[in-house]
């Protein structure tokens, strides 16, 4: 039985919005041109593929349902489990159930923690016990773990590459409709296609090989180890992708209308409108943000405890809390962007083309929508991406002081939060933190690189001539920007 959580619903809405935009963009040249320019850059193509991989995982993890149970109910109606699972959980299979007793390092066959056992003779010994699932297929002590990992990893990678080959063949067939198969293959090989498909395919190949190897290994080992209660860290990190994406996108969705409407209005109308909006955001930004969020989240917790009818399961409760966290973060974080937009609008209003539109008798709304908004979009875009990483980090900080996402929600924030005890252990438990770190890094870096390419493509001032083959400076520019940050 399908289940729609609130955040799922908003995510679908966001996807529908993107779909609608793609539909219109495909028909209108001015909308399509800059996006095509994005994909004419190798960096843009590659980072888009990485983001797409994250997005697919996030979406798979957002299709929730209650699985059908084996025996039907008393009245013949099918019975559903109380537990809500996502498609990703189904794909992961029994990985969630294969828990160990406690910490184990990546690819370990034995526990990381010594245990006192009593053997048949009655002697008590301290040993590192064998794991229940990690490397359980290996016979005896003599088997070489590195060799087994290498073999299975290679096999998985090859399987991944086979899938990739199928995808690549499909792409080539699609591309070759116009130019014929040999010409297309040659163009692809020499990277001479109008859009940089070769970069996309290479990135996809890396992802496929890596993914194939990990899927294969995850069936036999704990690839990224286990946490304190013996749960697989890899699964946690992957499940956290959805939380990260949601906090990054939904918060922006909440924050954007405030920032756009208020910022542009303040800059355009000036006078008392500007005064009111300025006082509003000055006041709001002078209250410590964490205090405001903590107060709101604590109030919400009390409210939710008093109104248990709002949710049926713990999953729904955690989801509701995630949604409110996004909204609270959105409401407290629009001031920065609003201020930037106000300043930019003040500058744009003085430009001759706005004056010319005035002289032509164009209305205020239309001037704002046609002349101001498109010309501040690059600021919005950059701010969104910078905020994206900042929000993912904010989630970690909030989880640390106990006002973040629900403790039962998998999130990088919760993982990093847990790591503060693990880091002070001796010997140190480093893998949960490292896992969260690398997943976050990959996501944020890809998003940053992509945004830089998008900005260059959308900013007409940076565009020289035809723009067909100007990918090299674009990339250099993007890289230097990332370096500067």
Partner 1 sequence: MRSPVLSVEDLRTHLKTPDGRLRAVDGISLNLRAGETVALLGESGCGKSMTALSLMRLVPQPAGIHAGGRILLGQGDAQVDLLGLPEVALRRIRGKRIGMIFQEPMSALNPVLSVGEQIAEVLRLHRGLDGAVIRQAGIDLLNEVGMPDPARRWQEYPHQLSGGLKQRVVIAIALAGEPEVLIADEPTTALDVTIQAQILDLLARIQRERGMAMLLITHDLAVVADVADRVAVMYAGRIVELAPRDELFSRPRHPYTRALFRSLPGPDRRGGDLSVIPGTVPPLTQTLPACHFADRCRHAWSDCRARPPAWQGDAQTGVLCHLYDPDYPDHPPPDDALEETPDAGNAITDSPAPADAGPAALSLKGIRVHFPIQKGVFKRTVGHVYAVDGVSLDITPGQTLALVGESGCGKTTLGRAAAQLIRPTEGRIQLGGSNLTDAPRAQLKRSRSDLQMIFQDPFSSMNPRLMVGDIIAEGMQAQGLGGNAEKRRQRAAELLEQVGMTRAALDRYPHEFSGGQRQRICIARALAVDPKVIICDEPTSALDVSVQAQVLNLMQRLQRELGLSYLFITHNMAVVAYMAHEVAVMYLGRIVEQGRADEILDNPRHPYTQALLSATPSIREEDRREIIRLKGDLPSPSHPPAGCHFAPRCPQVMDACRRSYPDARHFSDTHSARCLLYPKDG
> If DSSP codes are grouped into helix, strand and coil, which group holds residue 116?
strand
Residue number, 180 or 464, with CB nearest to partner 1: 464
Query: In angstroms, rounded to a whole number, what is the distance separating the alpha carbons of residues 265 and 365?
Result: 10
Min CB(373)–partner 1 separation in Å: 9
Q: What distance in Å separates the CA atoms of residue 436 and residue 419, rounded to the nearest whole number? A: 10
Nearest to 53 by CA among 211, 195, 250: 211
Of 410, 384, 414, nearest to 397 by C-alpha is 414
Tokens encoding 384: 């969104």
Cβ closest to partner 1, residue 168 vs residue 367: 367
Residue 347: CB minimum distance to partner 1, A:
10
Shortest distance, position 469 Cβ to partner 1, whole Å: 8
Distance, CA of 389 to CA of 372 (rounded, Å): 27
Smallest distance, partner 1 to C-beta of residue 44, A: 17
Closer CB to partner 1, residue 102 or residue 481?
Answer: 481
Residue closer to partner 1, measured from CB, 180 or 271: 271
Give least dist CB 42 to partner 1, A.
Answer: 15
Q: Measured from the CB of residue 70, what is the shortest distance to partner 1 in angstroms?
A: 59
- Of 99 and 470, the one with the shorter C-beta distance to partner 1 is 470
| Whether 228 contacts 103, CB under 8 Å | yes
Can you say whether residue 225 is alpha, beta or left, with left for phi > 0 and alpha for psi between -120 and 50 degrees? Answer: left
Helix (H) or strand (E) holding 80: none
The answer to whether the bond into 427 is cis (omega within 30° of 0) is yes
Q: How far is the C-alpha of 30 from the C-alpha of 26, rounded, in Å? A: 10
CB 341, CB 380: distance < 8 Å: yes
Of 100 and 474, nearer to partner 1 (C-beta) is 474
d(CA 88, CA 296): 32
Minimum CB separation of residue 368 from partner 1 in Å reads 12
144 vs 355, which CB is nearer to partner 1? 355
Cβ closest to partner 1, residue 30 vs residue 427: 30
Query: Would you list the DSSP string of 32-65?
Result: HHHHHHHHTSHHHHHHHHHHHHHHHHHHHTT-EE
**Residue 94 DSSP class:** G
Phi then psi dihedrals of residue 350, to 5 deg: -80, -10
With respect to partner 1, which residue has the nearer C-beta, 66 or 463? 463
Query: What is the C-alpha separation between 42 and 50, in angstroms, rounded?
Result: 13
The secondary element (H helix, E strand) that includes residue 129 is: none
40 versus 242: smaller Cβ distance to partner 1? 40
**Cβ contact 204:160 at 8 Å:** no
Minimum separation from the CB atom of position 451 to partner 1 (A)? 18
In angstroms, rounded to a whole number, what is the distance separating the alpha carbons of residues 328 and 250?
A: 11
Smallest distance, partner 1 to C-beta of residue 356, A: 6
Question: CB of 163: closest distance to partner 1 in angstroms?
Answer: 38
Starting at the edge strand that comes first in sequence, how are the strands of the sheet with 2-3 ordered?
Answer: 2-3, 64-65, 85-86
Please state the closest distance from residue 463 (CB atom) to partner 1, in A: 7
Q: Which residues bind partner 1 (CB under 8 A)?
A: 29-30, 351-353, 355-363, 366, 370-371, 374-375, 460-461, 463-465, 469-470, 472-473
Task: State which residue, 96 or 379, has the beta carbon closest to partner 1.
Answer: 379
C-alpha count within 13 angstroms, C-beta hemisphere, residue 101: 12
């Amino acid at each position: 039985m399908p289940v729609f959580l609130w955040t799922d619903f908003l995510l679908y809405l966001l996807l529908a919005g993107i779909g609608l935009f793609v539909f219109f963009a495909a028909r209108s040249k001015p909308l399509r041109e800059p996006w095509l320019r994005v994909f004419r850059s190798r960096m843009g193509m590659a980072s888009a593929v990485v983001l797409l991989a994250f997005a697919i995982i996030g979406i798979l993890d957002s299709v929730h349902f209650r699985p059908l149970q084996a025996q039907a109910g008393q009245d013949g109606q099918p019975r559903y489990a109380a537990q809500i699972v996502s498609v990703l959980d189904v794909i992961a299979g029994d990985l969630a159930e294969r828990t160990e007793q406690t910490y184990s390092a990546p690819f370990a066959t034995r526990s990381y923690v010594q245990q006192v056992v009593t053997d048949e003779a009655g002697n008590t010994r301290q040993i590192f016990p064998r794991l229940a699932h990690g490397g359980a297929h290996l016979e005896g002590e003599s088997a070489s773990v590195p060799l087994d990992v290498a073999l299975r990893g290679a096999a998985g990678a090859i399987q991944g590459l086979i899938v990739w080959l199928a995808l690549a063949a499909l792409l080539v067939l699609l591309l070759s409709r116009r130019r014929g198969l040999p010409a297309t293959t040659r163009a692809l090989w020499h990277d001479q296609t109008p859009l940089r498909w070769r970069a996309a395919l290479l990135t996809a190949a890396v992802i496929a090989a890596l993914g194939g190897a990990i899927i294969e290994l995850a069936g036999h080992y704990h690839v990224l180890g286990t946490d304190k209660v013996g749960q697989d860290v890899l699964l946690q990190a992957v499940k956290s992708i959805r939380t990260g994406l949601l906090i990054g996108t939904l918060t922006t969705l909440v924050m954007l209308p405030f920032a756009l409407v208020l910022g542009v209005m303040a800059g355009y109308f000036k006078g008392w409108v500007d005064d009111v909006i300025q006082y509003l955001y000055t006041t709001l930004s002078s209250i410590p943000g964490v205090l405001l969020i903590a107060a709101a989240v604590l109030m919400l917790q009390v409210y939710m405890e008093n109104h248990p009818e709002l949710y049926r399961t713990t999953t729904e409760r955690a989801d509701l809390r995630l949604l409110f966290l996004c909204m609270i973060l959105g409401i407290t974080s629009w001031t920065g962007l609003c201020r930037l937009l106000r300043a930019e609008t003040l500058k744009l209003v003085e430009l001759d083309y706005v004056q010319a539109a005035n002289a032509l008798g164009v209305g205020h709304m239309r001037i704002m929508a046609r002349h101001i908004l498109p010309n501040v979009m690059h600021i919005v875009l950059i701010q969104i991406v910078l905020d994206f990483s900042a929000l993912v980090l904010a989630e970690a900080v909030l989880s640390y002081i106990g006002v973040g996402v629900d403790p039962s929600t998998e999130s990088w924030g919760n993982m990093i939060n847990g790591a503060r005890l693990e880091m002070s252990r001796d010997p140190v438990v480093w893998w949960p933190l490292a896992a969260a770190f690398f997943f976050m890094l990959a996501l944020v870096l890809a998003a940053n690189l992509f945004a830089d390419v998008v900005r260059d493509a959308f900013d007409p001032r940076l565009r020289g001539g035809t723009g067909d083959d100007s990918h090299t400076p674009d990339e250099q520019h993007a890289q230097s920007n990332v370096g500067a940050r």
